């Protein structure tokens, strides 16, 4: 692994917390991610299913976790099943975990090979009433391809139709939203690496570069500092491209006089950072660019102060929309009179700012959580207002990662350049 080993007490605590939420006479089953085919005989780079990693720390394919807290046979109350290492397989694909290694990483004493799972599960199920199954419950995400957890859930329902089935996703959402100190430290490291990459861009970007050359600088720094790479597809959008929210082609020229928007996040130990910065390609903001940038920065600072216990993302969004509307009037994008006469179902600000200002962050860039869930200490969320003026080739977004605490918001990216003068100084003295 590229990161420092994580003390398995983290995963032990996570499993204990989950077990405490399960109903009596229950078993919960978690499957690892699939190896997804890329093309020909190639697979995409493997990334573990987030819930399974949260509970075990295991990053290997064909891994299964079974939790049955009240089962009479102690060895199956908490059992891990892993791929059996075979010399031929390891010759071609590299080292596979031994039982001892899996035990050390996860803190699970009872580790078996995957081939023993079905008979072990049957023993537990015939003495259990409920089966907790893990499925993807992200509101805006409905992939056409069924993952391993979905497929195995359908198989179980066919084999054991008389059991009661429960959703484990709401329980995992409840647990994963509140980050432990260990998790916050890992996210801090991901943020630190992301900041180093941004500073390297400030030192090297120049007019005429391709967006993918900027991406290459970022990727190189991520890998050099122990990250596994990007936590999501990086956005390097210059000029008009910055007005497209999820532009990832990254193949145009960064032209003199334009700005470039970079939405990037290093993944470290499977936790990701999420940062956006917008900078002038030539190192100097024009008067209009500076005016628009500082408007967004003002909103960012105001929104950040709203990230406190008891507030919600939904409420923050509504407050920021009002602030943004005032800034847009100041920038001359429309008038107060036009606002008075606007269609309330299609407000004028929406043309220039059309996305939410925050989302949960953690093992996934859009982590588990809800925009209606009140903030609690230990949550980590983004703060990311933006302004997109297509007519002027101006697309600006500023984004940092914020830890919610009883004492107010803690900006995990506070040391990464964000002010106009900081950015211009760094680019001038390269």
Annotated catalytic, 148?
no
Annotated catalytic, 359?
yes
Q: How far apart are CA 404 and CA 399, in angstroms?
A: 16
Annotated catalytic, 304?
no
Q: How far apart are CA 357 and CA 61, in angstroms?
A: 35
Annotated catalytic, 151?
no
Query: To 10 degrees, what angle do helices 420-428 and 181-204 make?
Result: 50
* DSSP at 282: T
> Of 41, 74, 181, 287, which residue is the catalytic one?
41
Annotated catalytic, 384?
yes
10 Å CB burial of residue 365 (0-12, 13-18, 19+) is buried
Q: How far apart are CA 247 and CA 265, in angstroms?
A: 15
Annotated catalytic, 31?
no
Annotated catalytic, 225?
no
Annotated catalytic, 95?
no
CB 189 within 8 A of CB 268: yes
Annotated catalytic, 115?
no
Q: How far apart are CA 403 and CA 391, in angstroms?
A: 36
> Of 51, 59, 183, 399, which residue is the catalytic one?
399
> Of 15, 188, 230, 359, which residue is the catalytic one?
359
CB 357 within 8 A of CB 381: no
Q: Which two tokens stand for residue 57?
A: 């720390």
Let me know the angle formed at the C-alpha of 278 by 275 and 280, rounded to the nearest 5 degrees: 150
69, 70, 74, 76: CA torsion to nearest 10? -60
Annotated catalytic, 230?
no
> Of 183, 384, 401, 424, which residue is the catalytic one?
384
Best CA proximity match to 412, nearest among 373, 388, 381? 381
> Of 267, 397, 401, 424, which residue is the catalytic one?
397
CB 237 within 8 A of CB 283: no
> Of 103, 163, 225, 355, which residue is the catalytic one?
355
- Size of the chain, expressed as the number of residues it contains: 430
> Of 246, 256, 305, 338, which residue is the catalytic one?
246
DSSP 86-142: -HHHHHHH-----HHHHHHHH--SEEEEGGGHHHHHHHHHTT-SEEEE-----TT--
> Of 51, 192, 211, 274, which residue is the catalytic one?
274
Name the CA radius of gyration of the chain, rounded.
24
Q: Which two tokens stand for residue 315?
A: 């409420």
336, 337, 343, 348: CA torsion to nearest 10? -40
> Of 160, 366, 392, 411, which residue is the catalytic one?
366
Annotated catalytic, 388?
yes
CB 398 within 8 A of CB 419: no
Catalytic residue annotation:
41, 246, 263, 274, 355, 359, 366, 384, 388, 397, 399
């Amino acid at each position: 692994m590229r990161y420092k080993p994580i003390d398995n007490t983290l995963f032990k605590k996570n499993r204990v917390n989950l077990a405490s939420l399960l109903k009596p006479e229950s078993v919960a089953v978690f499957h690892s991610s699939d190896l997804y085919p890329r093309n020909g005989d190639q697979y995409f780079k493997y990334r573990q299913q987030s819930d399974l990693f949260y509970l075990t720390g295991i990053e290997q394919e064909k891994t299964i976790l079974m939790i049955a807290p009240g089962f009479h046979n102690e060895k199956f109350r908490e059992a891990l099943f892993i791929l059996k290492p075979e010399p031929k397989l390891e010759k071609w694909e590299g080292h596979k975990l031994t039982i001892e290694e899996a035990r050390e990483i996860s803190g699970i004493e009872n580790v078996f090979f995957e081939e023993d799972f079905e008979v072990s599960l049957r023993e537990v199920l015939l003495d259990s009433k409920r089966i907790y199954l893990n499925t993807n419950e992200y509101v805006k995400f409905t992939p056409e391809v069924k993952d391993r957890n979905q497929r195995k859930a359908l198989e179980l329902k066919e084999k054991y139709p008389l059991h009661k089935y429960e959703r484990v996703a709401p329980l995992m959402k409840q647990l994963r939203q509140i980050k432990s100190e260990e998790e916050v430290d890992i996210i801090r490291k991901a943020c630190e690496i992301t900041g180093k990459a941004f500073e390297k861009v400030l030192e090297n970007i120049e007019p005429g570069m391709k967006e993918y050359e900027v991406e290459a600088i970022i990727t190189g720094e991520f890998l050099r500092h122990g990250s596994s790479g990007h936590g999501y597809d990086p956005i390097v959008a210059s000029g008009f491209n910055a007005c497209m929210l999820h532009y990832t082609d990254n193949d145009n020229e960064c032209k003199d006089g334009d700005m470039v928007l970079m939405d990037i996040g290093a993944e470290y130990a499977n936790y990701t950072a999420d940062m956006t910065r917008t900078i002038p390609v030539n190192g100097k903001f024009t008067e209009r660019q500076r005016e628009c940038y500082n408007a967004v920065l003002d909103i960012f600072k105001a929104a950040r102060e709203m990230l406190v216990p008891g507030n919600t993302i939904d409420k923050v969004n509504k407050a920021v929309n009002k602030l943004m509307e005032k800034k847009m009037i100041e920038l001359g994008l429309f008038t107060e009179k036009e606002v008075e006469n606007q269609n309330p179902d299609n407000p004028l600000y929406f043309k220039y700012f059309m996305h939410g200002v925050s989302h949960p962050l953690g093992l996934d860039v859009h982590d588990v959580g809800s925009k209606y869930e009140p903030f609690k200490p230990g949550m980590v969320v983004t703060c990311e207002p933006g302004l997109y003026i297509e007519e002027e080739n101006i697309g600006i977004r500023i984004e940092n990662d914020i830890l919610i605490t009883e004492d107010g918001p803690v900006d995990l990216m506070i040391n990464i350049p964000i002010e106009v003068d900081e950015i211009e100084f760094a680019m001038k003295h390269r």
